[in-house]
Every structure is written in C-alpha cells, then in structure tokens.
Amino acid sequence: MEEAQDKLRWGILATGSIAASFVEGVMNSRLGTVSAVGSRSQESADGFAEKFGGIPNRHPSYQGLLEDEEVDAVYIATPHPMHKKWAIKAAQAGKHILCEKPIGLNIFEAEQIIKAAKDNGVFLMEAYMYRCSDQTLEIIKLIKDGAIGQVKSIEASFSFDIGDNPDGRHLNKALGGGGILDVGGYPMSMAGLIAGVANGETFSEPKQIKAVGFIGDTGVDEYTSAVVGFDGGITARLSCGVALEEPINVSVSGSEGRLFVPVPWKPSPQGGETELHLYKNGSEEPEVIKVKTEKYLYGAEADAVAKGIEAKEAIFPAMSCEDTLALMRSLDRWREEIGLHYEGE
C-alpha cells in the first residue's frame, strides 16, 4: 500500500473542525489519500474541498459520498447521535469505517454498528487518535518493562470550558452533549489500556465505577468525576467536563515510582517531540523521556486503519471492537451513576 495508486482512498463524511484535522493528517500519512468529501450542501462540500487544495469528489449529501466508487473508507465526523445511522449505512455500502468517538450514544448503538460492520465484511474502528501515537507506544513499553513497578493507581483528566452556548453541540442534549460522551472516553480508555497492560492483557473493563457530577440547565453533564476499580487492585480517578477548565494530564503510580504524561490526548499533532516524566521512589527530579515522531497524529490514525484493513482487525494499541464495547459499557455506567440519560434510552 506504499505506492500512490494503492493508497487507501478516504471519503470524509461531514465537514466540521475535527474533519479538517483528520484530512490534514491523511494528507501527511503514508498509506492514505483523500478522494472525496460529503456535506449537507454543495457549497459546504466545495468550500471544504478547496480548503485542502482541491479534494476531487465533492458530494452535496452523505449518501452521495457512500455511493462514490472512488472511496474505500469513510471517516464519520458528524455529531454523536448521527454516528449509528451513517456508520450502518457506510457498512451496507461496503465502505471501511473510522467513526469519531463516541461510536454511539450507548452500548446498544455500539453493538448495532459493530454487527453491521461484521455482517458486511468491512473494517471498523473508533477514532481515539491518541491510541495510535508513538507516545502511547512508549507508555505501554514503560509499563510492561516495570519502570514504575506494579501499577497501583491511575489519574486521568480531560476537561475544558466551552463557554455559554446552549445551542452548540457540547451543551445540547439533543446532540449528545456533555462531558462523558464528548471527552470522558479518553480518561476511561486510557485507564483501561494501562490497567490491561499491567494485568498482562490489552484492555481491562472496570469492575467498579462510582461517580458524581453536575448536570446543568441544558440537561447534560457539565463536569463529573469517577472512581474506578480494576482487577489486580488497580484504582483510577477520572474526570471530564465541557464547562470547567481543569488540568489535562495522566499520572500512573506504581510500587516503584510514578509516570506523568503532560500531554496525553493530542501529542505532536503535526509531528515533533513530547515528554514523559518518570519519577522513581525517593527521587524529587524526574527522568525526562523524550518521544520524537515525524508522524502527524491523525495521519498515524489513518495509517492504523489501513494496516487494520490488511490485517482484518485493529492492530494494538489502536481501538479494537472489543475495546470499544468495553469502553461504551463503562461510559454507560458512568452516566447511570450521575443520572444522565438521553431521549429514547
């Protein structure tokens, strides 16, 4: 898949800011190219295509994109409640799928999407781009090598203040708004990944989840925290939010030290260097581990899909369908703990 004519041909379904980030990544990937974009109007599709130097095929509908024979894989970048509809339609159209997180609003939607992909013989992956980064590979290596001894506790957070815009998707309940669905999957999936690796697996689903949260005037979780228990005596303290500015980082404590990740979710978006801080017990100053990469973050994600298609399964540590189901069940339990439900549930 190295030659240009053999590159995975991407179609971009929806044209928001996250779609723009992904297209930039694909344009700087090894194994992919962007051949088409689909939007809700011709004007929007054309404007998006021109922004990136002229994506050749522009469709004024999502369905038109799925019918494009020059598209091998579809990146779904719509708001959360539309993921199920268009992921299933993409599967039925025979397109491989990278679906923005969360893959659906709940476990039932996730199961339907995964079943559609399997029934139609297409590859499916949920888009947690940090899982495809060189930094995440280094974190896994350090845990496996026992750099902090036996993992005991994990702290992970992803919270920001989007501002007062009740109609924007972050605070709009009809659009699946709220912290847990928008960014809660990051700390929960990182905790599951680290606990899994520490326990000799690829991913661990929590045994226990206890949580509190604040549900605002629009009916979504503005900020929330969870305490989570895994096998092996591993605990985690997780937080997320869309209406509260908090530190965004990950810290993993073990029997022999602590690993601090200053930039866990978007390391080196356009390549570059990040740092991991390793504190050994009894040492006040950390060993600074530099992680250098030439890969664009979203380009690495696109390449992970291309490799997964060839292997017929997601290649660790990219999100497998089993990881997605375990994560979705965990997010459902987190929402249940704070009494947050969406229409139709």
Write down the number of H helices and E strands in the chain.
10, 14
3-state helix, strand, coil in the chain (%, to 5): 35, 30, 35
275-to-29, 176, 278, 341 alpha-carbon distances in Å: 23, 34, 10, 38
Mean pLDDT of 260-277: 98
Q: In this structure, are strands 8-13 and 73-76 parallel, antiparallel, or unpaired?
A: parallel
| Domain pair 4-128 / 130-338, same fold | no
Nearest to 40 by CA among 64, 21, 70, 73: 64
Reported as a pLDDT band with limits 50, 70 and 90, residue 5 is low
Any idea what the Cα angle at residue 28 is, between residues 74 and 290, rounded to 5°?
115
Percent of the chain's residues with pLDDT above 90: 97
Alpha-carbon 42 to chain mean position = 29
CATH superfamily of 130-338: Dihydrodipicolinate Reductase; domain 2 (3.30.360.10)
Distance CA 237, CA 241 (A): 14
Q: Where are the alpha helices (DSSP H) in the chain?
A: 17-27, 42-51, 62-66, 83-92, 107-119, 134-144, 179, 185-198, 297-311, 321-338
* Boundaries of every domain in the chain: 4-128, 130-338
Q: What are the tokens at 315?
A: 């290649």
pLDDT tops 80 at residue 40: yes
Distance CA 159, CA 226 (A): 13
- Please answer whether residues 33 and 10 qualify as being in contact, where contact means their C-beta atoms are separated by less than 8 angstroms: yes
pLDDT tops 90 at residue 6: no
pLDDT tops 70 at residue 2: no
pLDDT tens per residue across span 214-253: 999 999 999 999 999 999 999 999 999 999 999 999 999 9
Reported as a pLDDT band with limits 50, 70 and 90, residue 297 is very high
Distance CA 287, CA 305 (A): 34
In CATH terms, the fold of domain 4-128 is Rossmann fold (3.40.50)
**Global pTM?**
0.96
pLDDT tens per residue across span 106-130: 999 999 999 999 999 999 999 999 9
Alpha-carbon 84 to chain mean position = 16
Strand order in the sheet with 151-159: 208-215, 221-229, 235-241, 151-159, 250-254, 257-261, 270-280, 287-296
Distance CA 114, CA 284 (A): 47
pLDDT tens per residue across span 55-106: 999 999 999 999 999 999 999 999 999 999 999 999 999 999 999 999 999 9
- How high is the pLDDT of residue 344? 84
Decide: helix, strand or coil at residue 123.
Answer: coil
pLDDT tops 50 at residue 139: yes
Distance CA 249, CA 264 (A): 6
Beta-bridged to residue 221, according to DSSP, are: 215
- How high is the pLDDT of residue 345? 87
Alpha-carbon 207 to chain mean position = 22
pLDDT tops 60 at residue 3: no
- How high is the pLDDT of residue 277? 98
What is the number of alpha carbons within 13 Å of residue 24 lying toward its C-beta? 12
Distance CA 10, CA 7 (A): 9
Distance CA 254, CA 150 (A): 5
Q: What is the mean pLDDT of the chain?
A: 97
Reported as a pLDDT band with limits 50, 70 and 90, residue 318 is very high
Q: Is 316 exposed, middle or buried (0-12, 13-18, 19+ CB in 10 A)?
A: middle
